[in-house]
Amino acid sequence: MKTIDQNIFKSYDIRGIVDTQLNTSIVFEIARAIGTETQLRQRKNIIVARDARLSSPELAKAAIEGLRSTGCDVTDIGEVPTPVLYFATNTLGIDSGIMITGSHNPANYNGIKMVLAGETLANQKIQALYTRIQNQDFLNGAGSYCEKPILDAYLNHIVEHIHLPRRLKVVIDCGNGVASVIAPQLFKALGCDVIELFCECDGRFPNHHPDPSVPKNLETLIETVLKNKADVGFAFDGDGDRLGVVTNQGEIIWPDRLMMLFAKDVLSRHPNAPIVYDVKCSKHLITWIKQHGGQATMAQTGHSLIKARMREIESPLAGEMSGHIFFQDRWFGSDDGVYSAARLLEILAQSSKSLSTICQALPNSTNTPEIKIAIPEEQKFSFIETFKRETTFFDAELITIDGLRVEYPNGWGLIRASNTTSHLILRFEADTVSALEKIQSIFKEQILKVNDQLSIPF
């Protein structure tokens, strides 16, 4: 067996560079560990799905062989978005599944997201897979294999539950990711006029990188919305579990502001419910949730960590600044960019106002998108620990549930280690531009005090 790089075992999935850190033999070994863990949870059946990356069919085949070698019976649902795998684990009577996906990483990456017995694996439970592989501690068996198409069931389920009182013109940008196999059909089935951008699966991502949290990746979407006088524009990431939104006026609506619309809607049916948001979200979201009768609950960033927190406190809604939106209200508690877009259309269609007008009524202040600072993979977590230990922030409240969020009366700043790339992630928000710049300058000084070799873009 080839030595496996432990760095691919991330906080909430497995991810690495194909042919360097991840190949068929490595995926086979990982699948043996997953298959063993599945059966130790008293499960024998498991679903396998894959995204549209060039390496995904081959890696999915290796995963299926690895799972079957432990005695697991595999149901293959083919090339679908990650949320469709989650849908399958909630509707097929099989609550375990794996997704072969590199999510929003560059085209030469791939990985595995895992749900075992209804739980999305995270942290130590992912590290335990590595330990099992190192010990070659596997069950042996000969599991069965079958294929089951599921896209029609997914589409029909949404169409049965989402009704739009008026016809909307929608631009969708799938970024050549796997959302291409369902998004155009779904929005047409909902009665929308649909304009498609890059809705052909192409694992090379030739038009732009499929990450809607980066403004540059939304430029064509914005142009197309304005040109066609569309009501809204949607962008999906590589595996379809994240959503980017552009208004009819071409404004980007960041997910924490989008969460305000969803929270108001959900809280109208679930008064006093806890709404979960990650550490990167606006302070206005916290106030908004409380004003609309909900309990604002901050959590660590990470789709599996958010899902665990939702389950723990029975939250009907959660969201991350990266664009993962999770509905337990009328859905399954999983992050689904396509379903979240349908829920936004429902809100928009019930109003006579444009999305731009609706969003203008939401509280806002000066803020930045995610800012990324490159740092060697092996240094990012130790940097954060040193930063928390050795820096000083006066007259501020410090929140340490995920990196360090420093809150001042007039704004806040955040620094944390990315769990998926070799970066530090920062975000800032303040009441005024001058206050924002002041907080950024304090952070810059403190960062350089810990490591003066880092290149800081502010």
Q: Which residues are catalytic?
A: 103
Of the candidates 310, 315, 307, 309, the residue with the CA atom closest to the CA atom of residue 274: 315
Chain-centroid distance of CA 73 in Å reads 28
Its sign, for the CA torsion 9, 10, 12, 15, is negative
Q: How many CA atoms are closer than 13 Å to the CA of 118, on its beta-carbon side?
A: 8
Please tell me the distance from the alpha carbon of residue 191 to that of residue 181, in angstroms, as a whole number.
Answer: 18
Ramachandran sector of residue 289 (left: φ over 0; alpha: ψ -120 to 50; beta: rest): alpha
3-state SS class at 380: helix
3-state SS class at 422: coil
Residues 6+ apart with CB under 8 A from 140: 69, 70, 71
Please tell me the distance from the alpha carbon of residue 364 to that of residue 214, in angstroms, as a whole number.
Answer: 19
Q: Tally the residues of the chain.
A: 458
Tokens of 270: 């679930």
What is the helix (H) or strand (E) element at residue 56, kind and residue range? helix 56-69
Residue 1: count of CB within 10 angstroms of its CB = 10
3-state SS class at 230: coil
